[in-house]
């Protein structure tokens, strides 16, 4: 077909479109299957505008299709929310219409065509079928614009609100850039009215990625569910907390059986502190309070998380993990206070468990419990100091030379003072040789404090890498223990099952399969409900009705 004929046909389509009656719309339908796909695309854009008219929709549903007018099967879902009769011609017509708009580009779409197309076609095409073509920010950076409104507040303003269209345009431009630099995906977005453009963009940026199933369930019954506040998640939390307490109790049991073992003096306070850190961060919120993502990524998947993020830090000089909260818990005074509260609560529970198991005198329990608490508190202070000073150090070589040296020397001094004081009480209560108690307590405390300081240096190096990319980021590997909560809890709670109940490894394995199985079922069940409850399309067409007729 030569250019004059093509031009004439397009002019004819323009004339039919201007008539705009249901009968005129029916005349356009056969051209959707025209052998010249560019011409069929031209027709599709015009028919997409007319489809908003309820009378046109009714007429097209009764259209008698020919054998060659076949559907695009993967796109028939687009009309399912709006039509119960599967024999309706609209399923086939809209699937072909949607396909042509999907494959269209700025080059073969009508020139300067910015008339609002039926959103029931454009929204699933832009938000599902061609979303990968859109270049969207991960999150809306500007929530309150110069008008002082959040996007959600702006979207509910009535049509008569002053300068409403100008406000819409400014927000859309903020998200997409200047319309003069359109790409094909943006061209499709701009075929919606301004309110819908902003509404859809807001959902695509700030909600989860939509699916075809979400669109099909556009008008499904609302599910009022939030996984983070559900009984499914609370049961998983309770199970996790109980297992953590069991592992903490076993750490104390091992230490109380041989209190003068240097390894026990190092391991029990250090590992207890790591478990306490985990629960303090979870309770106060990593990105939010009792964040499920933190629970899974820092416990079950902790080591995998560390390997992926540390690799990203080394190769790409960046990490997706939010290290701020972990750093704040280790450094800030208010967070340290929370940590102390959790320590005291867990110490009380653990002492009760341990005393019942070992039948130890209360005075012995208190002395050894306070020993662990004091050493853990000193370690936490050293972690804080190491993280702070590392983050503020200008030259990376100074971190290795100065920070680590100071930690060893300072740790020795503090360890000597704390260890001497603690050894006095331990020796008096347990009636052990004074020199042995003194040497082992001082040495154990010193090593534990030094390890804590080194881990703090790693945390500070990771936090420092947000703003200063230099060789110090390699020291972030020293923060590895923060990601090891799950193997610590798994190991010591498993040993507790053996130690307390005499279970063999096969029985312990069955117990863990049961625990992990129950937690997995509850987690997946809750996640499925949460996923359906957060349908990103819910209510998106309601605003369309507020802007005029059914879909204008």
Summarize pLDDT for 31-45 with one digit per residue, the tens.
999 888 888 998 999
- Say what the pLDDT of residue 357 is: 56
- Residue 151 or 234, more confident: 234
Please say whether the beta carbons of 153 and 84 come within 8 A.
Answer: no
Per-chain mean pLDDT for the chain: 77
Residue 190, token pair as written in the block: 């701009």
Summarize pLDDT for 477-530 with one digit per residue, the tens.
888 888 888 999 999 999 999 988 889 999 999 999 999 999 999 999 999 998
Distance between CA 439 and CA 370 in Å, rounded? 19
Please say whether the beta carbons of 532 and 223 come within 8 A.
Answer: yes
Summarize pLDDT for 314-339 with one digit per residue, the tens.
877 666 666 666 776 667 644 454 55
One-character DSSP codes across 394-450? SSHHHIIIIIHHHHHHHHHHHHHHHHHHHHHHHHHHHT--HHHHHHHHHHHHHHHHH
The answer, yes or no, to whether residue 68 has pLDDT greater than 70, is: yes
Residue 99, token pair as written in the block: 């396909």
Q: Could you state, in order of their start, the residue ranges of all structural domains in the chain?
A: 1-223
Summarize pLDDT for 250-262 with one digit per residue, the tens.
887 787 777 667 7
What is the 8-class DSSP label of residue 208?
P
C-alpha 446, offset from chain centre: 39
The answer, yes or no, to whether residue 2 has pLDDT greater than 60, is: no
The answer, yes or no, to whether residue 13 has pLDDT greater than 70, is: yes
Summarize pLDDT for 151-178 with one digit per residue, the tens.
777 777 777 777 778 888 888 777 776 5
- Residue 6 or 65, more confident: 65
Band (pLDDT 50/70/90 cuts) for residue 552 is very low
Distance between CA 79 and CA 550 in Å, rounded? 16
The answer, yes or no, to whether residue 76 has pLDDT greater than 80, is: yes
Question: CA-based diameter of the chain, in Å?
Answer: 108
Most confident of 130-134, 434-438, 462-466: 130-134
- Residue 24 or 451, more confident: 24
**Other beta carbons less than 10 A from residue 367's beta carbon:** 17
- Residues counted in the chain: 552
Average pLDDT on 353-367 reads: 58
Summarize pLDDT for 390-420 with one digit per residue, the tens.
666 666 555 555 666 666 666 666 666 666 6
Average pLDDT on 248-276 reads: 77
One-character DSSP codes across 94-152? HHHHHHHHHH--TTTSPTT--PPPPHHHHHHIIIIISGGG----SS-S-SS-TTS--HH
- Say what the pLDDT of residue 5 is: 57
pLDDT over 90 percentage in the chain: 18
Band (pLDDT 50/70/90 cuts) for residue 280 is confident
- Say what the pLDDT of residue 251 is: 82
One-character DSSP codes across 347-367? HHHHHHHHHHHH---HHHHHH
The answer, yes or no, to whether residue 121 has pLDDT greater than 90, is: yes
Mean pLDDT lowest for which of 200-204, 251-255, 547-551? 547-551
Please say whether the beta carbons of 455 and 478 come within 8 A.
Answer: yes
- Say what the pLDDT of residue 148 is: 59
- Say what the pLDDT of residue 428 is: 58
- Residue 100 or 176, more confident: 100
Distance between CA 508 and CA 504 in Å, rounded? 6
Distance between CA 380 and CA 359 in Å, rounded? 30
Most confident of 10-24, 152-166, 263-277: 10-24
Mean pLDDT lowest for which of 85-99, 261-275, 481-495? 261-275
Phi, psi dihedral angles at 164 (to 5 degrees): -60, -45
Average pLDDT on 55-74 reads: 87
Phi, psi dihedral angles at 403 (to 5 degrees): -65, -50
- Say what the pLDDT of residue 305 is: 86
């Amino acid at each position: 077909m030569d250019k004059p004929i093509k031009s004439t046909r397009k002019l004819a389509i323009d004339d039919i479109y201007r008539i705009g009656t249901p009968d005129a719309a029916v005349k356009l339908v056969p051209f959707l299957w025209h052998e010249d796909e560019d011409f069929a695309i031209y027709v599709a854009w015009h028919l997409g505008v007319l489809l908003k008219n309820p009378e046109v929709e009714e007429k097209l549903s009764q259209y008698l299709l020919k054998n060659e007018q076949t559907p695009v099967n993967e796109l028939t879902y687009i009309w399912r929310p709006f039509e119960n009769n599967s024999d309706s011609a609209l399923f086939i017509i809209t699937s072909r219409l949607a396909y042509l708009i999907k494959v269209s580009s700025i080059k073969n779409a009508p020139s300067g065509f910015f008339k609002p197309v039926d959103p029931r076609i454009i929204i699933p095409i832009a938000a599902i079928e061609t979303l990968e073509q859109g270049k969207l920010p991960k999150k809306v950076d500007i929530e309150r614009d110069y008008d002082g409104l959040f996007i959600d507040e702006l979207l509910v303003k009535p049509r008569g609100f002053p300068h409403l269209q100008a406000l819409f345009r400014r927000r859309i431009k903020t998200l997409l850039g200047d319309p003069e630099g359109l790409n094909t995906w943006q061209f499709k977005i701009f075929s919606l009215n301004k309110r819908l453009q902003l509404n859809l963009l807001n959902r695509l940026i700030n909600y989860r990625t939509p699916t075809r199933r979400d669109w099909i369930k556009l008008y499904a019954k609302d599910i009022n569910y939030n996984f983070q506040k559900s009984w499914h998640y609370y049961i998983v939390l309770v199970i996790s907390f109980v297992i953590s307490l069991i592992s903490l109790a076993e750490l104390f049991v091992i230490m109380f059986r041989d209190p003068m073992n240097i390894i026990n003096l190092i391991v029990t306070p250090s590992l207890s502190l790591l478990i306490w850190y985990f629960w303090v961060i979870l309770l106060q919120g990593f990105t939010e309070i009792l964040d499920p993502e933190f629970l899974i990524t820092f416990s079950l998947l902790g080591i995998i998380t560390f390997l992926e993020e540390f690799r990203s830090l080394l190769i790409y000089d960046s990490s997706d993990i939010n290290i701020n909260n972990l750093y704040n818990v280790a450094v800030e005074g208010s967070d340290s206070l929370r940590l102390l509260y959790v320590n005291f609560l867990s110490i009380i529970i653990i002492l009760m468990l341990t005393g019942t198991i070992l039948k130890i005198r209360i005075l012995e329990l208190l002395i050894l419990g306070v020993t662990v608490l004091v050493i853990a508190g000193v370690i936490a202070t050293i972690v804080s100091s190491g993280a702070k000073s590392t983050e503020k150090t200008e030259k990376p070589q100074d971190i290795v030379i100065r920070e680590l040296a100071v930690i060893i020397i300072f740790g020795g001094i503090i360890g000597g003072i704390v260890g001497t004081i603690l050894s006095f009480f331990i020796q008096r209560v347990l009636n052990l040789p004074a020199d042995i108690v003194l040497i082992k307590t001082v040495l154990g405390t010193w090593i534990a404090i030094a390890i804590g300081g080194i881990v703090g240096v790693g945390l500070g190096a990771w936090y420092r890498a947000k703003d200063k990319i230099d060789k110090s980021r390699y020291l972030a590997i020293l923060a590895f223990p923060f990601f090891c909560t799950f193997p610590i809890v798994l190991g010591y709670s498993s040993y507790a099952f053996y130690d307390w109940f005499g279970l063999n490894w096969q029985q312990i394995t069955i117990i863990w399969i049961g625990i992990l199985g129950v937690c997995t079922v509850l987690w997946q069940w809750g996640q499925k409900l949460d996923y359906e409850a957060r349908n990103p399309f819910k209510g998106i067409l309601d605003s369309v009705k507020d802007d005029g007729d059914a879909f204008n």
